[in-house]
Each structure stands twice: as structure tokens, then as C-alpha cells.
Amino acid sequence: MSLSRNQVKHVAKLANLPLTPQEEEKYSEQLSKILDYIDQLNSVDTSGVEPTFNVSGQENMMSEDKLGDCTISQEDTLSNTPKEERGFFVTKGVFEG
Amino acid sequence: MNITQLTLTETIEALKRKEFPEEDLNKAYLERIKDLNPKLNAYLEIVESKKGIPAAIKDVISTRGIKTTASSKILENYIPPYNGTVINKLLEQGASIIGKTNHDEFAMGSSNENSAYGVVKNPWNISKVPGGSSGGSAAAVAADLCVFALGSDTGGSIRQPASLCGVVGFKPTYGTVSRYGLIAMASSLDQIGPMTKSVEDAALVMEWISGPDGYDANMSSEKFKVKNEKLQSGIRGLKIGVPSEYFEEGLDPKVKQVIQDAIKKLEELGAEIVEVSLPHSQYAVAVYYILMSSEVSSNLARFDGIRYGKGRDQFGAEAKRRIMLGTYSLSSGYWDDYYAQAAKVRTLVKQDFEKAYQKVDVIIGPVSPTVAWDFGAKLDDPLAMYLSDIYTIPANLTGIPGISLPCGFVDDLPVGLHILGKFGDDMTVLQTAYAYEQATDWRKEKPKL
């Protein structure tokens, strides 16, 4: 399985990952090699085998709808943001206008 | 008495007997850190603590008011506003944080060469890697720069560096220790666990840090309890499985010999050695790299530079590689071929172990196919690096507990013995490890620094 430079560009876009042309080249080569190795999984007969996504056996863990002691103040919440305004995070615009 | 050579249990006893005050204990460790850390680079951040039992914390676990970088440039200035659950639990027990340890960026790597803040050196030979990703925690324990440490294990990141640095490293059953406050890598695989100077210490730290907190939905409802009489009850009649697949090509013949000697020792101690087969283990690395990287691509999406941290261009090469691989395997048209197929093969790996555990109580083998290698040796070949986790990955895919403990040396470098248990039966793993440790003197060996 080889991953072309264009596919690498497409995947990087999906991942919102800025890559330099050198990185695109490098990842095209390295990921192709890794995918070649991973292709051995397709030789395994998995007909009738259920997938495993979680090994804890837990599902739909519920908690009461109340404040817990992990609540963090607004001030603390904003303490690491590079840009804040009037107590809010500043994000990029979502709508063009 | 050399304070910094004491184990955790010995330190607690000495404090109880008032042999020295906590202040002297902290001073002794801080002096040693100042002396040796410039050489080893095990700590990224040092805390001038005066009280408590000094613990080293992998820098991927959130500590309130103490910089937590995940060894990444992207979190260079990040100061968490809260403690991870394990930190609160340790503080409640009288431990103190003496520093945050270096590791591969976002816990991704097997050699520590992926840290944005320089490599950790192996205390046994500073031209060798300490293993990864919890290399700083392993080196700090090996060099007596802390009483004990915490690491995290997603594909072997506690056990492999413990093996390469000659300390005890324990990955508990998935769901035993809360990950609240752990910077997530691959959530269906991540576990926090102790790295210690003895098996007894690992059991004690497990008792401290385990138990549900309501913030990790995958927790089991039971807290891990040390039963001392069980820990010390020996292994007479215990059935120990040896998987033939773990002793095939790829395992260094000298490491193989050390492991076989350890097996003989366990047999002398009264255990019954039974051959078992784990035929799907050969696919574990491939399964892991699809599932782990898929979860990585999702977990690392949160780093957008808005609420905390810097921009996504600041990720290191390995983080980018895994985000790319994961995004690709989850992308439209490839999901069935990669992610879904890997999740099915994961089931087969799990069934292999379930079948083996019908016959045996624990399974043993090597932790790492080789002892610590030279810096740079596998850096340009990601696949060769990934294959160094071949024996540790299955425990994460299946959720079972596993320990690495010192069992000998090859070319003056430590070798770790790997003991894997049944899901939820962490106690028997520790019991087996304790019996071996008590019958041998390996843990008394110290690196010459």
C-alpha cells in the first residue's frame, strides 16, 4: 500500500496539520512502509469475529446531574489561553462575513 | 545509612521510627537530583519540596500549579489548573511531588528520543536509551532520584523502560487507576501505574492510586487492595504459562538465556511451567498501530491553540506521524480495511489469552527483545522502533495486568522479566513477582554514576 504525496496532503488537511513539503515527502515514504506492514492484518480470517473497541466491559456509565469537585473556576479555566476577551476564549470566526 | 537507596516501604518504616525527618529525606533527594540530573535529564521540572515522600511524576500527568508539558513544545508553558486523580490520592497518603519527569512527546515512543526537551540517558550506560515512553521516571527510580515514580503505559511505556533501566514497572488491569488528569493518548489502552524500587512498593503505590473517582467512565468499581499474606504466600503449585511465540526469532539470544534462567528459578520455587500458545500475537503490533494512532488522532485534535497551548505546527515528528496514520485509517473509504479489521483482530488476540488463562495463572516472557540500545540506532526507522514493543503491546490490547522486574544483565545492561496476569487479577502478578524478587538479588544492583 503506498500513500501518494497528494493523499498525504489530503490527510494532513483532514487532521488540520500544517506540513512542510519536506514533511509531506517524508510521511509519504514512511507511512507507505508502515501501511505495508499493517497490510498483514488483511490475511487474517475475521469472518464472524466481533470487533473489540473497549476491554473494560463498562457501558453507559451514568452520573448524577450535579456539580462535582472537579469544577474549575472561570478564572482558572482561562489561565492558559493565549487570547481572552471579557472572560471568554477568543476563537477564529466560524462564518464568513 | 544512605537515605536515597531505601525503598518506599523502608522509607516509611524509617520515618515512623524517626530515623530522619521528612525535611532531610527531601534534601537528600534534591541534592542528588541537582548532582545527577544534568547528566541524565530525567527531570524536566524540579520542585523544592521539604515535606512528604518524594515522588517523581511523568510529565503527562496534570499537576496543579506545576508546569505539565507532555514533553511537547505545544504545551511549553501549560500550567494545569487542577490535579489528576492519582496526584490527589498520592498527596492524601503523604507523598510529595519532587519533580516532573521527561518522556517521549505525548508518551509516544520507545527510546525517549521523541521528547522536545532532549533525551533521557540510561543510568547504567549514558550512551544508551532509557526506553520509553516513561524513560525519565524509570531513570529517576534507577538512579535513586526519587523514592518512587508514576508512569503511563499505552503499549509498554511503563514496562519497557523499567526493563531497560532495571526497576520494577507495573501496568495494572485497564480500569483500575483513574486517568482523570492524564493527558490522553489512546483511551482504550492508557493506564497509569507505579515504577518502583521493589515489588512490595509497587503493590503499596497501587493501593494508594487505585479506585473509582467518578471521572473515568472505564473504572471498575473495586479498589485494589494489597493482601500481604497473599503477596508473600509464594508460588508453590502456581501454573505459569510460557508462550512459544515469545521466544522465537527477533529475541536476542542472550536476553533469551536470562529469561530462561528466570523461568528455571520460578520452577525451583515450586511453580509448574506450562507451554501455552498465543498465535495471534504476531499481529499485535499491526493492530496496535492502527487502533492507537486512530485514538491519537482523535485525542490530539483538542490541541488547537485556543484554550491552551500553541499551534499544531508545534507537534514533534512522531506525534505528527501518528496523527497522520490515525486520520488516514479513520478516513472515508479506509475505515473497514484498517480500523474495523484491526478491532476484529484485537478480539482474536484477546481470545488467545483467554484460552491460555484457562490452563495457567500467569504468563511469563521477555519485556523487550533486546537490552538498551544506542541513541540514534532506530531513529530513522519508525517500524523497527515500533517492533521493540512486540511483547508489551498485547497486555494493552487485552487490558490485562503486567509487570517488569529485574532478572539479570546482558553486557552490563539490565533485563526485565515480564509477568502477565488475568484481567482483574493484579494480585497474582505481584505475588509471582514478589516470590521471584525475594529469591534473587537483582534489585540490589545499582548503576554506578
Q: Could you state, in order of their start, the residue ranges of all structural domains in chain B?
A: 3-444
Is the pLDDT at A2 greater than 90, yes or no? no
Going by C-beta distance under 8 Å and a sequence separation of 6 or more, which residues neighbour residue B412? B124, B125
pTM of the predicted protein model: 0.97
- pLDDT tens track for B68-112: 999 999 999 999 999 999 999 999 999 999 999 999 999 999 999
Active site includes B277? Answer: no
B45-66 confidence digits (pLDDT tens): 999 999 999 999 999 999 999 9
Q: How confident is the model at residue A54 (pLDDT cuts 50, 70, 90)?
A: very high
Q: Do A80 and B81 touch (CB under 8 A)?
A: yes
Q: Which residues of A touch B342 (CB under 8 A)?
A: 38, 41
- Residues 27-66 of chain A whose Cβ lies under 8 A from any Cβ of chain B: 27, 30-31, 33-35, 37-38, 40-42, 44, 46, 49-56, 58, 61, 63
Beta-carbon contacts of residue B138 (< 8 Å; ≥ 6 apart): B130, B131, B149, B151, B161, B162, B164, B165, B167, B169, B195
Grid coordinates representing B323 are 496523527
CA distance A76 to chain B (A): 6
A11 vs B: CB within 8 A: yes
Q: Residue B345: its pLDDT value, please? A: 98
Q: Do B320 and A79 touch (CB under 8 A)?
A: no
Answer yes or no: are the C-beta atoms of B180 and B215 closer than 8 Å: yes
Is A21 exposed, middle or buried (CB count within 10 Å of its CB: 0-12, 13-18, 19+)?
exposed
Q: Is residue B115 annotated as part of the catalytic site, yes or no?
A: no
Cα distance between residue B185 and residue B190, in whole Å: 7
Q: Give buried/exposed letters for B334-347 (b at 16+ CB in 10 A, else e).
A: beebbbebbbbbbb
Q: How far apart are CA B28 and CA B3, in angstroms?
A: 7
**pLDDT of amino acid B304:** 93
Residue B424's pLDDT is 96
The 10s digit of each residue's pLDDT in B371-402 is 999 999 998 888 888 888 999 999 999 999 99
- Measured distance CA(B311)–CA(B156) in Å, rounded: 29
CB-based burial, B197-218: b 16+ in 10 Å, e otherwise: bbbbbbbbbbebbbbbbebbbb
Residue B403 C-alpha cell reads as 509487570
How many whole angstroms separate alpha carbon B406 and alpha carbon B131? 14
Average pLDDT for B338-363: 98
Based on its alpha-carbon atoms, the radius of gyration of chain B, rounded to whole angstroms, reads 20
This model of the complex carries an ipTM of: 0.94
Percent of chain B beyond pLDDT 70? Answer: 100
pLDDT digits (tens, 9 = 90+) for B401-430: 999 999 999 999 999 999 999 999 999 999
Quote the mean pLDDT of chain A.
91
Which of A31, A56, A68 is facing B399, going by the closest CB pair?
A56
Mean of the per-residue pLDDT values for chain B?
96
Q: Any chain B CB within 8 A of the CB of A17? A: yes
Task: Report residue B236's pLDDT band, with 50, 70 and 90 as the boundaries.
Answer: very high
Cα gap A35→B32, rounded to integer Å: 46
Pair B394, B285: CB distance under 8 Å: no
Q: Which of A19, A44, A51 has the CB atom closest to B340's CB atom? A: A51
Instruction: Note the pLDDT of residue B293.
Output: 97
CB interface of B with A, residues 184-223, below 8 Å = 188, 214-215, 217-220
- Per DSSP, B337 falls in state I
- CATH code of the region A5-42: 1.10.20
pLDDT for residue A17 is more than 90: yes
* pLDDT band with cut points at 50, 70 and 90 for residue A97: low
Q: Which residue is it, cell 500500500?
A: A1
> Could you tell me if B218 and B175 are in contact, meaning their C-beta atoms sit under 8 angstroms apart?
yes
| C-beta of residue B107 within 8 angstroms of C-beta of residue B186 | no
Residue ranges of domains in chain A: 5-42
| pLDDT reading at B155 higher than 70 | yes
Q: What is the dihedral of CA B273, B131, B393, B67, to 10 degrees?
A: 130
By the CB < 8 Å criterion, does A23 face chain B? yes
- Please say if the pLDDT value at position A62 is more than 90: no
Helices B317-330 and B284-299 pack at an angle, to 10 degrees, of 100
Amino acid identity of B132? G
Sign of the alpha-carbon dihedral angle for B415, B374, B59, A17: negative
> What is the architecture of the domain spanning B3-444?
Alpha-Beta Complex (3.90)
B253 Cβ contact list (under 8 Å, min separation 6):
none
Closest residue in B to A31 (Cα) is: B325
pLDDT band at B332 (very low <50, low <70, confident <90, very high): confident
Distance, in Å, from the CA atom of B45 to the CA atom of B43, rounded to the nearest integer, reads 6
Cell of B286: 499491526
Contact across the interface for A34 and B340, Cβ inside 8 Å:
no
How far is residue B267 from each of residues B163, B184, B220, B243, measured CA to CA in Å?
A: 22, 40, 33, 16
B285 CB neighbours in chain A (<8 A) are 37
Cell readout for B444 is: 540490589
| Best mutation target, B324, B329, B348, B388, to test chain A (most A CBs within 10 A) | B324
